[in-house]
Amino acid sequence: MSAPIGNAARFAAAPISGGGTPADEWLLKKDTFPSLPLDQCPGLVVVAPHPDDETLGFGAAACGIAARGVDVRTVIASDGGAAWPGLSPSEQARLEESRRCESRTAAAVLGLPTPTFLGLPDGRLAENESRLADILTDILAGRPTGTWCAATWRGDGHPDHEAVGRAAAIATARTGTVLLEYPIWMWHWACPGDDAVPWQNAVQLVADPVAVQRKREAITSFRSQLECDAAGREPILPPHVLERLDRVGEVVFR
């Protein structure tokens, strides 16, 4: 799949509080996507920009794949300390520790090994894209033939999400592994039929009900993103965002 043009301007122009595209509109579109059987996965590396993206975008699939005894590894590029602007260094450090702990807890709920945290700067992953591509290349090298690398979509809108997708695309091209790109914020700012989205490459991942329920439980681990912060700022992931992701399920571009 060719690299999309970035959609940061589209994402920035669509405030999260505005609600975005309703889930009902996406469900009609999703019905047109073919399914990708999870039993075709010989090994999996999930790459996330921030702690929680791995669960939001690929948690049920990772849970189902791991339950079959397949090796699953999760790599989280940043520790998510810049979720809110203007934090003091000590506040940012506390948030980073909280978010790492939340991802560890979510992984345990999903039956996955503890994630690897790279500690790259939140909000500045594009500046570290080459370094991230090299790290991912090392991680993917030597893994089983056909290993899946699931990373955020290169056109997702959030600059960090797009940087991770680009780095994963480079790493998979170098290693001959299979790139799957999962959207998260696209469901908010795009609409069915949007020309900015490679619909021809979309497939849906059908996880079993147990894995889907475990994902729902795992998401509750991310309290720092689900609740107002100490200053009373609105949650990063308000209920309508979570409801939409839950109803749409997991879709990737390949």
Q: Please give the span between the terminal C-alpha atoms of the chain, in angstroms, as a whole number.
A: 7
Sign for the pseudo-dihedral over CA of 253, 151, 12, 222:
positive
| pLDDT for res 87 | 85
Question: Is pLDDT at 215 greater than 60 in this prediction?
Answer: yes
What does the pLDDT average to over 4-9?
A: 85
What does the pLDDT average to over 199-203?
A: 97
CA distance 11 to 182: 16
| pLDDT for res 115 | 98
Beta-sheet pairing, 202-205 with 250-253: antiparallel
The stretches of the chain forming alpha helices (DSSP H) are 8-12, 23-30, 53-67, 89-110, 129-140, 159-175, 186-189, 209-219, 223-226, 239-248
Could you tell me which residues come within 8 angstroms of residue 2 by beta carbon, excluding any fewer than 6 positions away? none
CA distance 217 to 41: 24
Question: Is pLDDT at 95 greater than 70 in this prediction?
Answer: yes
Question: Is pLDDT at 86 greater than 90 in this prediction?
Answer: no
CA distance 8 to 88: 26
Residues 152 and 184: beta-carbon distance below 8 Å? yes
CATH number for 8-253: choose from 2.60.120.640, 3.30.420.40, 3.30.830.10, 3.40.50.10320: 3.40.50.10320
- Give the residue, 245 or 233, on which the prediction is more confident: 245
What does the pLDDT average to over 213-237?
A: 91
Beta-sheet pairing, 148-152 with 44-48: parallel
- Give the model confidence (pLDDT) of 118-132 as tens digits: 999 999 999 999 999
- Give the model confidence (pLDDT) of 166-197 as tens digits: 999 999 999 999 999 999 999 999 999 999 99
| Residue 15 binned pLDDT confidence (cut-offs 50, 70, 90) | very high
| pLDDT for res 4 | 62
Q: Which of 186, 127, 171, 147 is nearest to 6 (CA)?
A: 186
What does the pLDDT average to over 98-114?
A: 98
Tokens encoding 225 = 């993103």
Residues 224 and 99: beta-carbon distance below 8 Å? yes
| pLDDT for res 82 | 85
Q: Which of 115, 134, 148 is nearest to 42 (CA)?
A: 148
Kindly list the domain boundaries of the chain, sorted by start residue. Answer: 8-253
What does the pLDDT average to over 102-113?
A: 98
| pLDDT for res 85 | 81
- Give the model confidence (pLDDT) of 40-52 as tens digits: 999 999 999 999 9
Residues 203 and 252: beta-carbon distance below 8 Å? yes
What does the pLDDT average to over 80-104?
A: 91
CA distance 182 to 199: 12
Backbone angles phi, psi at 250, to 5 degrees: -105, 125
Tokens encoding 239 = 């209920």
